[in-house]
Amino acid sequence: MEEKPFPAWSWSVEQCLKEYNVKIDKGLSSYDVEKQRQRYGWNELAKEKGKPLWQLVLDQFDDTLVKILLVAAFISFILAYLHGSESGESGFEAYVEPFVIVLILVLNAIVGVWQESNAEKALEALKEMQCESGKVLRDGYLVPDLPAKELVPGDIVELRVGDKVPADMRIAALKTSTLRVEQSSLTGEAMPVLKGTSPVFLDDCELQAKENMVFAGTTVVNGSCVCIVISTGMNTEIGKIQKQIHEASLEESETPLKKKLDEFGSRLTTAIGFICLVVWIINYKNFLSWDVVDGWPANIRFSFEKCTYYFKIAVALAVAAIPEGLPAVITTCLALGTRKMAQKNAIVRKLPSVETLGCTTVICSDKTGTLTTNQMSVSEFFTLGGKTTSSRIFHVEGTTYDPKDGGIVDWTCYNMDANLQAMAEICAVCNDAGIHCDGRLFRATGLPTEAALKVLVEKMGVPDVKVRNKIRDIQLAGNYLIDRNTVKLGCCEWWTKRSKRIATLEFDRIRKSMSVIVREPTGHNRLLVKGAVESLLERSSHVQLADGSLIPIDEPCRQLLLTRNLEMSSKGLRCLGLAYKDELGEFSDYYAENHPAHKKLLDPACYSAIESDLVFVGVVGLRDPPRDEVDKAIEDCRAAGIKVMVITGDNKSTAEAICQEIKLFSGGEDLRGRSFTGKEFMALSPTQQVEILSKPGGKVAKEASDMVLADDNFSTIVSAIAEGRSIYNNMKAFIRYMISSNVGEVISIFLTAALGIPECMIPVQLLWVNLVTDGPPATALGFNPADVDIMRKPPRRSDDALINSWVLLRYLVIGSYVGIATVGVFILWYTQGSLMGISLVDDGHTLVSLFQLRNWGECPTWSNFTVSPYMVGGGRVITFSNPCDYFTIGKVKAMTLSLSVLVAIEMFNSLNAVSEDNSLVTMPPWRNPWLLFAMSFSFGFHCLILYVPLLADVFGIVPLSLNEWFLVILVSAPVILIDELLKFVGRSRRSAAKKEKTS
């Protein structure tokens, strides 16, 4: 049941307790718990049922081309069965055709199911964020490990450091002076968020503004507290995210390629049906005849056997027209694309989304960790110089927690002056963070801000020359104080040993600072403080100059410090003030908990008084820096016509500064109407929202996690888009290649039927060509190198034609040559003794006239028609008990020549597809070595079925002699010259059109 809206953040703790009729020291009663559970259910995310295996399998067959193939396979099976029943035979050869079709479709389905089922596991990530148990107060007793799923609204829960929050809860009381929660999983904020108990007097506010709430799936990184459970299960913020993801995932939308292929399939279906009908009608006289009596047909004679024979020719035409390998090749190419993207840390959940990336017009990106490194680092710091009216600014390079990553620019202060020593001491000792080296990667523990301060200290060095040299020697050997497995000697370690920490005044949101009391080498105590600059200045009476002298703060000095602080803040830097105090009064001899003044350290209300009359030292500016590669990625997006939108949970001014730094916004640009907080954007009308999102063009997709970034890096998105564009271009290449090849097959079958000659290829041979010999080169075209200007073109429109009119004309010309060459070599073998000096009658076969070949069905009526046996490879002799068998059994050699020409011509045609427009001279085939390997592989397979007797019998072919191979190459090679000429014409047309447009 969905609970009613309850703005707990704007209510007082007492009101929240009253809402659930619960006492903070008793918790809910068992009766109340049961009542709440009946109302709200269990505290767990809904387990959305994934698609069952059978449905995933069926989805793979929801494709027009696949459906046509299934029909063709069914018809082929019926015809094979009928032929076997009539002849009394049931040989395996008759069922090869339907078996191969079904096999390739099953393999295609297996690849698709495997990819999608693996990707679905990504949805489990949200569930892993859920807590398993919690410390809960019930019936007045503390249950230390109550299963989190049993929590109900109104439960009183205790949280400590390291705990994962089990539900959305209102903080009722703090058990420590501070509480920080890491909630980047919900808001994207890099820094842990400080929490409190005071109401936020806004009924509708952003998630990050709810400072008295903790949310399911986040983690406590500092402090402990007692909370009231407000929302559980799917009513939590993380539950709402899962619901939105699930709803978006149900909005199935077809990708541009899927739409084009379905459209192509529909048109192909119509064309195939029409052509098959025409072919059948052309040959009607062969199975249907009648006499004309008194102007009316009589004595109608129908031959079922011949009718099915010509129907099988029509099916062969369908098999030739359908690019059977296309679904498998597309699936394979997209799968290869996902692998290439995975190597670039982009994990694709749905195969079609690889291609869709090429249409991307808008990128909506998070800031923290995607545009930035998600590692805080000191960018610059400043202190006063020799007088109160001058300041000195130090710039710091490096963006990671590795002390050797960059350094302080123009740092010559090896013998640090007193002011810089004070700064280093405060950064090193007033600090709870740690850094450790995990192999080569440096990681932080504790607050990222404090970790960045420790890295700064390492870059500053120490004032002791001997110690500094010893540290340098150790670091040159690859060791650091922060590497727990090596010698713990470094700058921070030196400071912490020098200034022994004896007490801590924890941070609180009132004074906005923290401090530590340390014992100096002199034996005196000193208070080291860091916090918000404005807050520290209010409590500072003096400022330290470079030489260590202390000067009272006057108004010009205060304004100078505030101005410098404002300048740093405007750059998107988070500023921390540093100060100290030597005159500690009753704390000047503090040593341990039994000291008389210790009780004041237990009361945070006393901290402001202790941290008064401070000596201001300087300001440190930190940032979560942009990734180095983001600048180029943004430029690539701009050149590619892609709009970039940054969506972040961070501070608006900080986000704007980062966006200006990565050149998403230009410096000094008016950001009104371009930069919005979430609340500002949601306050706009739907029309205004659409207008903002659509400038300068494009839509924001609602697909849920079709692609996941493994490295959370913006440049990975851009690389994935470039890869998507390249994959689309390569898919167009192999689609054009396969379609042009199939057009050639259609024309060959149509010419055979139109001329009335015996079929020059049988369906199983066409299947072999489409699935086996065409498949590897088509797949290899997916490895074509990307165009050099791939990211200098605007995004293609989703409705752009897959094949435009010029390309269609080109491939109709190519296809016509393929068909003519395939049928032509068949006719040449029967009717000609030689071609261009190549003898065709060395095997001893009988030549016939073209008239006889076209009217071979009338052979039984011919008188004195005789033929001679002829020899094929392997010493086999083809003989005929009936001379008319010369046009059926005897066509095995001519059919082998036709099949070989078709295979060879399509291998040459694959070279044409290396580039749609560029000549083979400028884009040579060795630019894609995979294609050359695939051609060799396909041709090798063709030779395998030619020269292995068992396979040759299955496919109805015979071995060829060397002389006959010369004939095959001679007839096939011109396809390259024809396409080169067509490419030249195409380039000339585009050049002329471009000149006309510019003029």
Dump pLDDT digits (tens) for 723-754: 777 777 777 777 778 777 778 888 888 888 78
H/E stretch holding 631 reads helix 630-639
Q: Please state which of the ranges 113-117, 349-353, 635-639, 701-705 shows the lowest mean pLDDT.
A: 701-705
Burial class (CB in 10 A: 0-12, 13-18, 19+), 200: middle
Rounded to 5°, the CA angle 652-657-662 comes to 125
Say what the pLDDT of residue 786 is. 72
Residue 932: both structure tokens together: 């050359």
**What is the structure's pLDDT at 653?**
64
Catalytic machinery residues: 366
Distances (CA, A) of 482 to 72, 460, 478: 70, 15, 11
Contacts of 643 (CB under 8 A, 6+ apart): 361, 362, 363, 637, 695, 696, 697, 698
Which amino acid would we find at residue 878? I
Buried (b) or exposed (e) across 526-557, using 16+ Cβ within 10 A?
A: bbbbbbebebbbebbebbbbbeeeeeebeeeb
Cα–Cα distance for residue pair 59/70, rounded to 1 Å = 14
pLDDT digits 0-9 by tens, 127-159? 454 567 889 999 988 898 898 889 999 999 999
pLDDT band with cut points at 50, 70 and 90 for residue 225: very high
CB 163 within 8 A of CB 219: yes
Query: What pTM does this model have?
Result: 0.57
**Cβ neighbours, 10 Å, residue 871:** 16
What the block records as the tokens of 516 is: 């530590």
CB burial class (10 A; 0-12, 13-18, 19+) of residue 133? middle
Q: What percent of the chain has pLDDT over 90?
A: 21
Which of 75-84, 646-655, 663-672, 930-939 ranks highest by mean pLDDT?
Answer: 930-939
Q: How large is the angle between the packed helices 256-282 and 714-755, nearest 10 degrees?
A: 0
Letter string b/e over residues 938-959, b meaning 16 or more CB atoms within 10 A of that residue's CB: bbebbeebbeeeeebebbbbbb
Closest of 654, 664, 513, 651 to residue 573, by C-alpha: 654
Q: Contact 318/272 with Cβ under 8 angstroms?
A: yes
Report the alpha-carbon distance of residue 632 to residue 442 in Å, rounded. Answer: 26
**The pLDDT of residue 112 is above 80:** no
Token pair of 705, please?
A: 């996690």
Q: Does the structure show a pLDDT above 50 at 697?
A: no
* Confidence check: pLDDT of 961 > 80: yes
Q: Which residue has the higher pLDDT, 598 or 659?
A: 598
Distance CA 448, CA 351 (A): 38
Residues comprising the chain, all counted: 999
Closest CA to 197 of 13, 24, 27, 23: 13
Q: If we measure between CA atoms, which residue out of 219, 217, 245, 247 comes closest to residue 232? A: 217
Condensed to tens digits (0 to 9), the pLDDT of residues 454-513 reads 999 988 888 876 676 676 666 665 555 544 444 445 788 889 888 999 988 888 777 889
Residue 328 — pLDDT band, cuts 50, 70, 90?
A: low
CB-based contacts of 876, cutoff 8 Å, min separation 6: 958
Q: pLDDT band at residue 519, thresholds of 50, 70 and 90?
A: very high
Question: For the chain, give me the number of helices (H) and strands (E)?
Answer: 34, 30
Taking CA atoms, 264 is separated from 63, 816, 996, in Å, by: 11, 20, 33
Residues 152, 197: Cα–Cα separation, whole Å: 21
pLDDT of residue 129: 47
Rounded CA separation 298/309 (Å): 24
Determine which of 203-207, 632-636, 680-684 has the lowest per-residue pLDDT on average: 680-684
Residue 893, pLDDT > 80, answer yes
Residues 6+ apart with CB under 8 A from 634: 644, 662, 663, 664
The DSSP string of 152-184 is -TT-EEEE-TTPBP-SEEEEEEESSS--EEE-H
Sign of CA dihedral 139, 145, 150, 151: positive
Beta bridge partners of 142: 137
CA–CA distances in Å: residue 41 to residues 122, 147, 433, 639: 26, 14, 41, 52
- pLDDT at residue 923, rounded to an integer: 79
Please report which confidence band the pLDDT of residue 829 belongs to, taking 50, 70 and 90 as the band edges.
Answer: very high
pLDDT score at 308: 66
pLDDT value at position 50? 62
Report the distance separating Cα 731 and Cα 875, nearest Å: 45
The answer, yes or no, to whether the previous bond of 758 is cis (omega within 30 of 0) is no
pLDDT at 237 over 50: yes
Most confident of 70-79, 642-651, 803-812, 960-969: 960-969
pLDDT at 119 over 50: no
Which residue did the predictor score with more confidence, 296 or 526? Answer: 526
* Measured CA angle at 476 (ends 474, 480), to 5 deg: 50
394, burial (CB in 10 Å: exposed 0-12, middle 13-18, buried 19+): buried
> Which helix or strand (DSSP H or E) is residue 638 part of?
helix 630-639
**What confidence category does residue 713 fall into, taking pLDDT thresholds of 50, 70 and 90?**
low
Q: pLDDT band for position 699 (50/70/90)? A: very low
Q: Beta strands 441-445 and 434-438: pairing type?
A: antiparallel
Higher per-residue confidence, 688 vs 748: 748
The CA distance from 565 to 553, in Å, is 16
**What pLDDT, in 10s, does the model give residues 534-546?**
999 999 999 999 8
What is the average pLDDT value for the chain, to the nearest integer?
A: 79
Nearest alpha-carbon partner for 119 in 325, 354, 369, 344: 354
Tell me the C-alpha distance between 807 and 800, whole Å.
13
Q: pLDDT tens digits for 177-224? A: 778 888 876 776 656 888 888 888 877 777 878 889 999 888 888 788
Helix (H) or strand (E) holding 614: strand 614-623
Q: How far is CA 297 from the centre of its chain?
A: 68
Residue 645 has a pLDDT of 72
CA distance 167 to 36: 15
CA 523, distance to chain mean position in Å, is 60
pLDDT at 527: 95
Can you give the pLDDT at residue 485?
A: 42
- Cβ-based neighbours of 329, under 8 Å, separated by 6 or more: 734, 738, 775, 778, 779, 782
> What would the two tokens of residue 987 be?
């380039």
The mean pLDDT value for 56-75 works out to 70
pLDDT recorded at residue 126: 42
With beta carbons less than 8 A apart as the criterion, state whether 537 and 566 touch.
no
What single-letter amino acid sits at 47? K
| Contact present, 371 and 646 (Cβ < 8 Å) | yes
b/e burial code for range 319-339 (CB count within 10 A of at least 16 → b): bbbbbbbbbbbbbbbbbbbbe
> Please, are residues 179 and 195 in contact by the beta-carbon 8 Å criterion?
yes
Give the tens place of pLDDT for each residue, 360-381.
Answer: 777 776 666 567 777 788 999 9
Query: With helix as H, strand as E and coil as C, how does 711-748 read?
Result: CCCHHHHHHHHHHHHHHHHHHHHHHHHHHHHHHHHHHH
Quote the longest CA-to-CA distance of the chain. Answer: 135
Say how many Å lie between the first and final Cα of the chain, rounded.
Answer: 68
d(CA 888, CA 890): 5
Please give the DSSP secondary-structure letter assigned to residue 94: G
Residue 515 has pLDDT above 80, yes or no: yes
Residue 578 · residue 423 · CB < 8 Å:
yes
Give the tens place of pLDDT for each residue, 537-577. Answer: 999 999 999 888 999 999 989 999 999 988 888 887 889 99
Q: How many Å apart are CA 557 and CA 104, to the nearest integer?
A: 81
> Angle between the 325-343 and 256-282 helix axes, to the nearest 10 degrees?
160
Token output for 858: 């009338």
